[in-house]
A and B are shown apart, each in its own frame.
Chain A
């Protein structure tokens, strides 16, 4: 195998290790939220330092790769994609940490009625599917798969758009649960961001494989 391919594989492997770490944060975040599990939430928060060190390590590996191999074409796009996916993974890790901090403030699980009304668990599961499928698309270098993932973001956005009204109505009827309602609203907002970040990552896979820039295309159409 050419040396440049070995180096690229090293980069990919490091990124996948980080991906698994953030997967653990995100998956555990769902359980921690559903059960108001403070201990699990603390573990997610602690993992953030490890995710950050991966972020720095991958940045450094990319910098070295660019300096030593001066890649072009598909190799250049590969390293640019790794750099950007790395940034998005780190932010998803931050988001998982932020959600875990809300869980730490809960003294009991969210009201099941509120959970049902807002569809937050449906949203969470959808975000997890997006996140994991994106990993598969990256491992398989599959831009078609990546395009399918981008479409999944619509479901998250739909739930997010309705959440304001749903939670406002709920709080009007349950004024003693304002902190809980606001915390859930914040978590929903964070999940919506996770959907956007996974979309960014999927767009990078398409750019890497097909040399096509697909980001911001959807927004343009909406404006038209």
Chain B
């Protein structure tokens, strides 16, 4: 078996909110064009960790990291890294769909316009491609000029995914992307993740064990700021090595 290249890597990563240490010596390497799921109880550090990959935590007072996060082998916390450039490379989708109060079209091309792209044809082509990739095109192609807020929750979330795809990232971070959605919309998002991993590296935080099992190739279990276990998802959900992992995934924690 040939070893696939690591797209994202954390080396001896510690993270602090003031005096509180949220992540403790995390070491992990994530494969390119694969889905990695982060699981663990609330407050275990998984979302903090996810947000280090596009430096979303930088806005939080007192937040600091030690150690390294590598994207394609390059330290994203290095002083010469521009955060706006990093975020073009690493897109993010949040728990609650958060479309802007604009039209569907304006939402998708928002990132491109911020980058200064004004060419109408480019914007239209990117909009269609992104919506198709997000499996939303057929549902919205005739109402691109309508408000995004009129879409259903599931459609809004796929719109947010399309918006993230439009800037052509190579990594997509998803923080509980389906936890606010009904089972049908959840299934669509999961199917979408499965399709997207052919072209993107995806990291997903989820509290839904079955979802982690269905969508991810690898799973990492976090507990109290530590990475307890990281393995192939099928190994993790059939024969986890650590008792804490077993207790968590079988619902017997604490």
Contact = CB atoms under 8 A, between A and B. Distances in A.
Partners in one complex: yes
The A contact surface, by secondary structure, is helix
Given A73-B237, A77-B238, A211-B238, A2 B251 contact: yes
A133 interface: no
B250 A73 contact: yes
B250 A71 contact: yes
A126 interface: no
Interface in A1-27: 2, 4
B251 A73 contact: no
B213 interface: yes
Contact of A2 (B210, B237, B240, B252): B252
A211 B239 CA distance: 6
Contacts of B210: 70
A67 interface: no
B251 A74 contact: no
Contacts of A211: 238-239
Contacts of B237: 72-73, 76
A75 B238 contact: no
Interface in B234-254: 237-240, 246, 249-252
A76 B238 contact: yes
Nearest to B241: A211
Contacts of A72: 209, 213, 237-238, 249-250
A128 B185 CA distance: 55
B32 to A, nearest CB: 27
B92 to A, nearest CB: 28
Contacts of B240: 73
Contacts of A74: 246, 250
B252 A73 contact: no
Interface in A102-156: none
Contacts of A70: 209-210
B215 to A, nearest CB: 15
Interface in B197-254: 209-210, 213, 237-240, 246, 249-252
Contacts of A77: 238-239
Contacts of A4: 250-252
Contacts of A71: 250
Q: Which of A4, A71, A73, A74 has its CB near the most chain B CB atoms (within 10 A)?
A: A73
A68 to B, nearest CB: 13
A52 B237 CA distance: 33
Contacts of A2: 251-252
A76 B251 CA distance: 13
A76 B213 CA distance: 13
A203 to B, nearest CB: 16
Nearest to A72: B237
A71 B250 CA distance: 7
A75 B249 CA distance: 10
A71 B210 CA distance: 9
A76 to B, nearest CB: 7
* Most chain B Cβ neighbours within 10 Å, of A4, A71, A74, A211: A74
A128 to B, nearest CB: 33
Chain A CB within 10 Å — which of B210, B238, B250, B252 has the most? B250
Contacts of A76: 237-238
Contacts of A75: 250
Interface in B170-212: 209-210
A2 B247 CA distance: 12
A207 to B, nearest CB: 10
Interface of A: 2, 4, 70-77, 211
8 A-B pairs closest in CB distance: A211-B239, A72-B237, A72-B249, A73-B246, A75-B250, A73-B240, A73-B250, A70-B210
Interface of B: 209-210, 213, 237-240, 246, 249-252
Given A73-B240, A211-B239, 8 more contacts: A4-B250, A70-B210, A72-B213, A72-B238, A73-B239, A73-B250, A76-B237, A211-B238
8 contacts: A2-B251, A72-B238, A73-B246, A73-B250, A74-B246, A76-B237, A77-B238, A211-B238
